[in-house]
Chains A and B, each alone.
Chain A
Amino acid sequence: MAEQETDKGRRCMLVAASTVAGGIAVGVTAVPFVASMLPSERAKAAGAPVEADIGKLAPGERMTVEWRGKPVWIVRRTPEMLDSIKQSVDKVADPDSNKAMQPRYAANEFRSIKPEYLVLVGICTHLGCSPVDRFAAQAEAFAADWKGGFYCPCHGSLFDLAGRVFKNRPAPDNLIVPPHTFLSDTKILIGVDQGAEGAKGAA
Chain B
Amino acid sequence: MTMAATKKEPVVIEGAGALNTPLSGLLTWVDQRFPLMSLWKDHLAEYYAPKNFNFWYYFGLLAMLILVLQIVTGIFLVMHYKPSAAEAFASVEYIMRDVPGGWLIRYMHSTGASAFFVVIYLHMFRGLMYGSYRAPRELVWIFGMIIYLCLMAEAFFGYLLPWGQMSYWGAQVIINLFDALPIIGPDLSTWIRGDFVVGDATLNRFFAFHVIAIPLALLALVGAHIMALHEVGSNNPDGVEIKENKNAAGKPVDGIPFHPYYTVKDSLGVVVFAFLFCMVMFFAPEMGGYFLEYNNFIPADPLKTPPHIAPVWYFTPYYSILRAVTEDFMFWLALGVAAYATLIVFTSRGCLSKILAVLIAPVVIFLMKGVGFGMTFTLFRGTFLEITLPLEAKVWGVILMGLATLIFFLLPWLDKSPVKSIRYKGVLSRWALTIFVAVFLILGYYGTQPVTDLGTLISQIGTLLYFAFFLLMPWYTQMEQTRPVPSRVTM
Contacts and interface: CB of A to CB of B under 8 A. Distances in A.
A130 B304 contact: yes
Interface centre among A39, A40, A167 (most CB of B within 10 A): A39
B194 A43 contact: yes
Interface stretch (A51-59, A66-74, A78-86, A181-189): A66-74
Interface residues on chain A, size class:
20 to 34
B176 interface: yes
Contact of A153 (B193, B196, B307): B307
10 shortest interchain CB distances as A-B pairs: A156-B451, A69-B197, A71-B303, A128-B176, A130-B305, A127-B176, A129-B305, A127-B173, A172-B392, A43-B195
Given A38-B191, A154-B309, 19 more contacts: A39-B195, A43-B196, A66-B302, A69-B197, A71-B303, A127-B173, A129-B169, A130-B303, A142-B452, A153-B307, A153-B309, A155-B322, A156-B323, A156-B456, A168-B328, A169-B327, A170-B323, A170-B326, A172-B393
Contact of B201 (A43, A129, A169): A43
A132 B307 contact: yes
Contacts of B177: 127
Contacts of B169: 129, 154
Given A43-B195, A69-B199, A168 B327 contact: yes
B306 interface: yes
Interface in A54-107: 64, 66, 68-71
B305 A153 contact: yes
Given A127-B172, A129-B169, A156-B451, A70 B197 contact: yes
Interface centre among A37, A154, A168 (most CB of B within 10 A): A154
A47 B277 CA distance: 47
A122 interface: yes
B23 to A, nearest CB: 47
B201 A40 contact: yes
Nearest to B180: A127
A37 B323 contact: no
7 contacts: A40-B194, A132-B307, A152-B305, A153-B306, A155-B323, A156-B456, A172-B394
Contacts of B305: 129-132, 152-154
Interface in A134-175: 141-142, 152-156, 167-172
A142 B452 CA distance: 7
A167 B326 CA distance: 10
Contacts of B199: 43, 69
A39 to B, nearest CB: 5
A170 B397 contact: yes
Contacts of A169: 326-327
Contacts of B306: 153
B260 interface: no
A153 B323 CA distance: 12
A130 B168 CA distance: 12
A93 B172 CA distance: 24
A50 to B, nearest CB: 13
B308 interface: yes
B205 interface: yes
B326 A71 contact: no
Interface residues of B, number: 41
Contacts of B302: 66, 69-71
Contacts of A127: 172-174, 176-177, 179
Contacts of A47: 196
B10 interface: no
Contacts of B327: 167-169
A34 B192 CA distance: 10
A126 B392 CA distance: 11
B289 interface: no
Interface centre among A39, A128, A153, A156 (most CB of B within 10 A): A128
Nearest to B190: A39
B450 interface: yes
Nearest to B307: A153
Interface string B200-232: 010001000000000000000000000000000
Interface in B437-479: 450-452, 456
Contacts of A131: 305
Contact of A39 (B179, B201, B397): B201
Interface in A27-46: 34, 37-40, 43
A191 B114 CA distance: 43
B370 to A, nearest CB: 9
A122 B323 CA distance: 21
Interface in B299-325: 302-309, 322-323, 325
A68 B199 CA distance: 11
Contacts of B451: 142, 155-156
Contacts of B322: 155
A38 B194 contact: yes
Nearest to B192: A37
A155 B392 CA distance: 16
A5 B393 CA distance: 64
A170 B303 contact: no
A70 B397 CA distance: 25
A129 B172 contact: yes
